[in-house]
Structure 1
Amino acid sequence: MMQDNGVSKPRRSRFKWLSMFTAGIIACSSWLSVPFAPQAAASTAITIQVDTSRDRGEISPYIYGTNQDFSEHLTVRRFGGNRTTGYNWENNMSNAGSDWYHSSDNYACTFTETPEDKCNEPGGVLSTFHEQSIAQGAYSLITLPLAGYVSRDGNGTVLESETAPSHRWDEVVYRKGAPFTLTPNLNDGKVYVDEEVHFLVHKYGNASTPTGVKGYSLDNEPALWPHTHPRIHPNITGVQELLDRSIALANAVKDVDPYAEIFGPALYGYAAYTGLQDAEDWEDLRGDYGWFIDYYLDHMRQASEAEGKRLLDVLDVHWYPEARGDDIRITDQVGTKETRKARLQAPRTLWDPTYIEDSWIGQWGSHHLPLLPTLQQSIDTYYPGTKLAITEFNYGAQNEITGGIAMVDVLGIFGKYDVYMSNFWLFDGGYDYVKSAYELYRNYDGSRSTYGDIRVYAETSDIENSSAYASVTSETNDELHLIVLNKSLDTPLEATIQVTSNQLYRFGEVYGFDEASPEIRRFTAIPSIDNNQFTYTIPPLTAYHMVLITEEGDGTDPPQDKPDSVTGISAQTVLTWNASEGADSYNIKRATNPEGPYQLIANVRGTSYTDTSLEENVTYYYIITAVNEAGESPAASLISIKIGSIELPDPDEPGPGEPGGPGSEDPVPQPDGDLVVQYMAADTDPVNNQIKPHFNIVNRGASPVNMSDLKLRYYFTKDGSEGVNAWIDWAEIGSSNIQTVFTDSYVELRFTSGAGSIPAGGQSGIIQLRMAKENWSNFDESNDYSFDPSKTLFADWERVTLYQNDKLVWGIEPTN
């Protein structure tokens, strides 16, 4: 389940006092802390450019498909794979081929979860499969037999001496040539494929109806039949043979359901693309064709024209990358550091002409790379209008971060390069990261929200370490979706994102996953966007889905909502506030007396303003109003700023000009000492199965402080006897340099010598702690001493204590 890990959009906060060292706010006075910088690894600056008017095109909803169910949010389900070559729709038996002792059995009933009584009915497996698709709102792609024979029985292993034709097999006939029946003869030794399609059309309607089967595949990986199914098709598959079979079956299907899409030839990989795995008649037939795919497309086009109907709607290929790192194929295992790097780069083979992967294909077949443009060129040349599908693929490491990021990358590429359908093939083992990769597009917030359906231009300045994709959800571009990846194993990216659009985006939500966890969670929001440009840090091995939002009003009435959650610091002050619905801009007014007079010092379109003309020992008062062409909103609650302290009122208190205004609060005194702990609630929901406090330790003294001398305590309630686990999801001093120790009432963070020191005026940088019970049951943080859901930005917090050489130097310990 997606867990909340931050704020969605700027929201009202109820804290009274905010530190001068709030993350993202610059302090320039000589005695203030300098902005923190990563200490574990220097970040790399990149630029991502987005243009909502360029390269616009529809993203096919069918690129989010599968061959095995692993998420309820997928759009296509394929009944495919080796088992379907020998599947008999009349009795639901199939043959495993070389995958499992050439066994004929009812395994198709098992993997489709077909009830036993239905397994004994004609078409029971197909009915179960398709009804599951209907329930999920998914497209069903059904594989039809083309190789010549299907299983007659479920009696187990088929011996070599029982190779077809024999009593173990029924002959496949594409066209019955007689009236169809819904109760086929199980003893005539034949299976009619057009009758199979008729069964589905009769039961669910044709492909033009909401419940009809939409597509049919002309079998599976025909170049490998002699290897995968030697009991069915022991001879090498010929080019002319495959073409003749494909034309005949496609014709028969279209006669029953003219609206159905035909997929073919479901080639297993590169050697099949080039010459149908060295088919014996390829050299005699190839002529001037560049590879077998060209020949197939051209001859399917010719046959379609002769028949007066399209016999191939979708060119269907499979792609299991051969890329290697440290001589380990990326699909074989997670591998070494070099294997992981190779996996992260492997998607570039799909589109990047400057990249050559380490594989035999990269060495000997680079003239056919990058793959997607080459396939599209073949289509455009030999059968224009044919769609492109990759109905089996896998990039390995399904349960590891590099596999997850590679999958996010591949799905972005499919959307960008006009792939019509793609279907992930799930290997054995865990798949949490692959599942999250799909849900980052299909259910990123846990409420079925999805990536946009119209792609737009997005390019990154560093294609080796990052990837970027963009989409919008409507012609008005009100909501802009960005997929941004950091593919570096160890270096953060400082991404400057520049958007060209007819819309002005005001703030953004950020969702994603990283190396710490495959769980999609909410990350630090983008509180304001200045003229469609902002900067965001992306940690190593992280996948983000950013949603940029306009929230434009119609301008007919003055804005009714006053800006809230105003924050600021002294010296050079950056004021930030929440966007107001209907606002075109904001007036910032300042005075040195709470009663005024207030002078207008700026009008800005964004939700932040930097005031650089402050003097020491002077208290400044600010009010902010939202403006559009119809007028001005009520003023936000007063904020006063003075070097050394900051006062924030309750946002529900009246502002100047409102009854009871202007009103101000006395500042909460800052605790004594040079070391300060800042806290932020990364998860503001008090009842769920994880606790996610973030910390930053600030050294306001004149001498450096060794981190190994420090201990930090966060107080919480365990709510039960279960053990609690802790993870450091991210720390700028390095997660491995932090140890966690539990007691009944708090968790203590201890630091190794590898954490280094905090220089005078410096900071530790962000430390992201996450805790969960061993049985993953819920916590209730409502009364936890250290928990404060109002702190959605870093602020000094006395209820997190800090010890130096075991002496309390910051915070207030609980009294009970």
Structure 2
Amino acid sequence: MRNSLAPIVWLAGSCLGMLANAATIDVSIDLAADRHPLKREIFGVSGAPDLGAVAYPLLRWGGNSTTRYNWQADVHNTASDWFFMNIPDGNGTPSGSSVEALLESTLAAGSQPLLTLSTIGWTPKAVQQKRWGYSVVKYGPQLVTECSYFGSNPPAWCTADAGNGSCNPAQNQTGYCGANGLIVGNDPLDTADPATPQTQTAWMAHLQQRFGTAASGGVRYYALDNEPMLWNSTHRDVHPQPLTYDEIWQRTVAYAGAIKAQDPDARVFGPVTWGYCDLFGSAADNCLDGSDRAAHGGIPFVKWYLQQVCAYQAQHGVRLVDYLDLHYYPQGDGVVDFSDPPNGSETATVSARRLRSLKELYDPTWQSESWLADLGSASPWYYSHPQLIRRARAWIDEACPGTGLAITEYNWGADNGASSAIAHAEALAIFAREGVDVAARWVAPAAGSLVERAFRLYLDFDGQGGRVEGDSVRATSTNVDALGAYAFHASGSRVMVVLINKATTANAAAIDFGTTLAGNWQLYQFSGSSNLALASSGNVNGTSLVTANLPARSASLLVLPDSDRIFVDGFDQP
């Protein structure tokens, strides 16, 4: 960091007064170093946003309720999220389902859906009526029912017989209340019927008839269920036993094999982890390490899973899993708070912790400021230092080269938090720099929210469809805690620099491009108090310049001409 501004020409003279006490942070760009393509599908989300408003390139249909979905009857099960209940949707036919409407609108918009296919072996009964997994009448008193959840004034539509599956062993009137305080021995047939891989490929065949195959513009991406290592809690009414290494691989062979047979051009995502623990161990290990992992050579689960993928391909000539699919939420207190939407916690302490927690994605020296630190930093796994993306990339390179990397659930804070918005903007830049292939935020940010601005910065920075594109290239900030810097090069077109001012004061960036750039530039910007807009513009002719207007807690995009562009009148339109 330096404070002398004399050698540099300011880009925006009107901001000099504001920056009298601002620091200038050096940023260096190397257009030839660390080049790799920016994958558009890292800007994906889950849910059903208006693609006409923001052109998210990927929409994930996922979550707990997709594990049990009957595509023929259009019925889903809410699992532990809401009393293990079957809920009818639409008009009870595939063509009238909201799922297929989402697929249709997504494909029509030129985006790609990521469709979750169930592998749990159960599907909701094909009847258009509510059913629930833990009947009070059948299994005895339970701690909460759908009606008691609402207190003394339950709504007329609630079901008093629908329990949450938790009980008091002292009230074990029916013999179903286990010593652990959970209903045991319930009948999965209360809500579900057995399902097979052919149940899912029959849906694929139907979708191929309606939308075409993967190669002809239909659905291309399929995920192997949702967070199976949590089934013994989220879906314990039908799968009470914790999943093991071997069971999840057996299901992968059966279901992914069937998917590839149905559509060889389909791309499969697995194993769809739920978080940090099942990177290293199975549900049977109860986080990180245990007898199941010991029985598999002490190899972390995800690395072992990758080994099986490539071993199967070598033996059978079929690549069962194309993308390693991980979910990740930073665990620091208050960083992700779904209990207080849409604003979340924006205290000074939480905001600073939220922005620092982005280092969990890539920095091998960073120790998580959460319970992960309690796991220890002993060799060889250094649990307290997540470095999620680099760890996953190393495992791919060692165990199954050529596998793509997907982070299909993540979140860095509430939709309308100022630090949350720039944290998401930086997370997207980190995904690009670190070589993530596909990503989807949980869930799509609300229309007009601050976090939506973070996505617009990359997908529609000028309101006219301007996108960040090209190759990710090296960008280095001398103070990453204050200013994050990321660069992209669209050869023959433009250079783009993303600047994330994480400081609580305004800053400036002195940028060295390592090559001569000449022509007009634009600086687009948003903060917690300002919408995404053109903040300033001007002309550059040289190897360096200073951005003089980086407000506190803001994200900016500097768009410049490429050094090898053939200049013509009107070039300044990005």
Please report the TM-score for the alignment, with normalisation by the length of structure 1: 0.57
2:237 aligned partner: 231
Residue identity in the other structure for 2:296: R
- Aligned 8 A contact 1:48 1:461 in 2: yes
1:120 deviates by 2.4
1:155 deviates by 2.8
> What's the C-alpha RMSD, in Å, of the aligned pairs?
2.6
Q: Summarize deviations over 1:267-286 as a string: whole Å, max 9, x none.
A: 11001111123437513423
| 2:390 is the counterpart of 1:373 | yes
2:494 aligned partner: 479
1:128 aligned partner: 101
Q: How far apart are the structure 2 equivalents of 1:275 and 1:466?
A: 36
1:343 deviates by 0.8
Residue identity in the other structure for 1:543: A
Q: How far apart are the structure 2 equivalents of 1:158 and 1:297?
A: 37
Residue identity in the other structure for 1:94: H
Q: How far apart are the structure 1 equivalents of 2:315 and 2:251?
A: 16
Residue identity in the other structure for 1:316: D
- Aligned 8 A contact 2:46 2:444 in 1: no
Residue correspondence of structure 1 range 439-478 to structure 2 within 5 A: 439-473=456-490, 475-476=491-492, 478=493
2:196 aligned partner: 173
Out of 13, 30, 36, the position equivalent to 1:24 is 13
- Aligned 8 A contact 2:271 2:325 in 1: yes
- Aligned 8 A contact 1:330 1:339 in 2: no
| 2:172 is the counterpart of 1:199 | no
1:89 aligned partner: 71
Q: 1:582/1:81 Cα in 2 relative to 1: closer, same or farther (>3 Å)?
A: closer
| 2:29 is the counterpart of 1:50 | yes
- Aligned 8 A contact 1:194 1:252 in 2: yes
1:439 deviates by 0.5
Q: 1:237/1:551 Cα in 2 relative to 1: closer, same or farther (>3 Å)?
A: closer
Q: 1:150/1:278 Cα in 2 relative to 1: closer, same or farther (>3 Å)?
A: same
1:321 deviates by 0.7
Q: 1:353/1:144 Cα in 2 relative to 1: closer, same or farther (>3 Å)?
A: same
Residue identity in the other structure for 1:228: T
Q: Which has the higher helix share?
A: 2
1:401 deviates by 1.1
Q: How far apart are the structure 1 equivalents of 2:250 and 2:291?
A: 14
Q: 1:431/1:334 Cα in 2 relative to 1: closer, same or farther (>3 Å)?
A: farther
Residue identity in the other structure for 2:267: E
2:519 aligned partner: 506
1:129 deviates by 2.0
Which has the bigger relative contact order, CA under 8 A and spacing at least 6? 2
Structure 1 unaligned segments of length 5 or more: list them. Answer: 1-21, 27-34, 110-115, 176-191, 560-579, 584-816
Q: How far apart are the structure 2 equivalents of 1:522 and 1:458?
A: 22
Larger Rg: 1
Q: How far apart are the structure 2 equivalents of 1:410 and 1:361?
A: 20
Q: Summarize deviations over 1:267-308 as a string: whole Å, max 9, x none.
A: 11001111123437513423141x111111112222232322
* SS of residue matched to 2:522: strand
Range that drifts further, 544-553 or 166-175 = 544-553
Q: 1:581/1:154 Cα in 2 relative to 1: closer, same or farther (>3 Å)?
A: closer
| 2:436 is the counterpart of 1:422 | no
Residue correspondence of structure 1 range 169-568 to structure 2 within 5 A: 169-175=192-198, 192-209=199-216, 211-279=217-285, 282-289=292-299, 291-324=300-333, 328-331=334-337, 333-364=344-375, 367-368=382-383, 369-426=386-443, 432-473=449-490, 475-476=491-492, 478-489=493-504, 491-501=505-515, 504-517=517-530, 519-525=531-537, 527-537=538-548, 538-549=550-561
Q: Summarize deviations over 1:730-784 as a string: whole Å, max 9, x none.
A: xxxxxxxxxxxxxxxxxxxxxxxxxxxxxxxxxxxxxxxxxxxxxxxxxxxxxxx
Q: Which has the higher strand share?
A: 1
Range that drifts further, 507-516 or 66-75 = 66-75
Q: How far apart are the structure 2 equivalents of 1:122 and 1:390?
A: 30
* SS of residue matched to 2:415: coil
Q: 1:530/1:86 Cα in 2 relative to 1: closer, same or farther (>3 Å)?
A: same
Q: How far apart are the structure 1 equivalents of 2:398 and 2:96?
A: 39
Q: How far apart are the structure 1 equivalents of 2:565 and 2:470?
A: 24
Q: 1:322/1:554 Cα in 2 relative to 1: closer, same or farther (>3 Å)?
A: closer
- Aligned 8 A contact 2:12 2:547 in 1: no
Q: How far apart are the structure 2 equivalents of 1:311 and 1:285?
A: 23
2:130 aligned partner: 156
Q: How far apart are the structure 1 equivalents of 2:106 and 2:131?
A: 31
- Aligned 8 A contact 1:91 1:123 in 2: no
- Aligned 8 A contact 1:552 1:581 in 2: no
Residue identity (%): 27
1:167 deviates by 4.9
2:170 aligned partner: none
Q: How far apart are the structure 1 equivalents of 2:370 and 2:307?
A: 30
Q: How far apart are the structure 2 equivalents of 1:124 and 1:381?
A: 42
- Aligned 8 A contact 1:61 1:453 in 2: no
Q: How far apart are the structure 1 equivalents of 2:447 and 2:374?
A: 32
Q: Summarize deviations over 1:3-41 as a string: whole Å, max 9, x none.
A: xxxxxxxxxxxxxxxxxxx97399xxxxxxxx74646xx
Q: 1:546/1:233 Cα in 2 relative to 1: closer, same or farther (>3 Å)?
A: same
* SS of residue matched to 2:242: coil
- Aligned 8 A contact 1:217 1:262 in 2: yes
1:349 deviates by 1.1
Q: 1:71/1:370 Cα in 2 relative to 1: closer, same or farther (>3 Å)?
A: farther
Figure out how many residues of one structure are paired with residues of the other and give that number. Answer: 493
